[in-house]
Chains A and B, each alone.
Chain A
Amino acid sequence: DILMTQSPSSLSASVGDRVTITCRSSQSISGYLNWFQQKPGKAPEALIYATSSLPSGVPSRFSGGGSGTEFTLTISNLQPEDFATYYCQQSYSRPLTFGPGTKVDMK
């Protein structure tokens, strides 16, 4: 199985901040990296696919990058609705695996 790790596990930030979350895979996943946002009591929602592409409707303040085994999710100009938990997920090989999550809360 491909092990996904994330750092930090949590962070505190303020509205307007720029936030970066890092995701690492235990082996190269050739850019097959997705990001999800989850709010309490809700299902995860797709935020970024294939490392850096945004699904329709996702605000452009979200961006993704990276390659090989290290990837980033950046939220520029953090908004109140962005306080949530973020998960990375590799879609390179089965079993599909998720990172443990990064909780972004209000400073």
Chain B
Amino acid sequence: QLHLQESGPGLVKPSETLSLTCIVSGDSVSSGNDYWDWIRQSPGKGLEWIGSIFYTGTAYYNPSLMNRVSISIDTSKDEFSLNLNSVTAADTAIYYCARRTQKIFGVVINLFDSWGQGTLVTVSS
């Protein structure tokens, strides 16, 4: 049974860096068929895809955050991390990590099929 758990500070000061880690259990981040993604949800902007990473370290980011975001992966620990710098109040949101399955029976689906419970991060001084 796959389980994802976000961890990190719930309060970040403006202009500082938001750092979160997602610990994966019940599966390996090196499985080869999956991407590991970060998604956030705020009342103002709804659900927003932040970016994703493959076990090889190849990462993709939402252009709206491209110059502030980085995602990394540690295959030895089965965890992946999000860094978002120069945060403002607009970055206040629930942050989710998720597994995105690329294919089922050879068919490309790109489905977020497992999610962490989410962690609220508030940007405030």
Contact = CB atoms under 8 A, between A and B. Distances in A.
Contact of B96 (A43, A46, A95, A96): A43
Interface of B is mostly: strand
Contact of B109 (A36, A49, A95, A96): A49
B111 interface: yes
Interface string A86-107: 0101010011111111000000
Nearest to B63: A95
A91 B109 contact: yes
Interface residues of A, number: 24
Contact of A36 (B60, B110, B112): B112
Interface of A is mostly: loop
Range of interface residues on B (Cβ < 8 Å): 20 to 34
A94 B60 contact: yes
Given A32-B110, A34-B111, A43 B118 contact: yes
B118 A97 contact: no
A45 B49 contact: no
B46 interface: yes
Given A32-B108, A87-B46, A89-B112, 16 more contacts: A32-B109, A34-B110, A42-B117, A43-B96, A43-B116, A49-B109, A50-B109, A55-B111, A55-B113, A91-B109, A94-B62, A95-B64, A96-B49, A96-B110, A101-B46, A101-B47
Interface of A: 1, 32, 34, 36, 42-46, 49-50, 53, 55, 87, 89, 91, 94-101
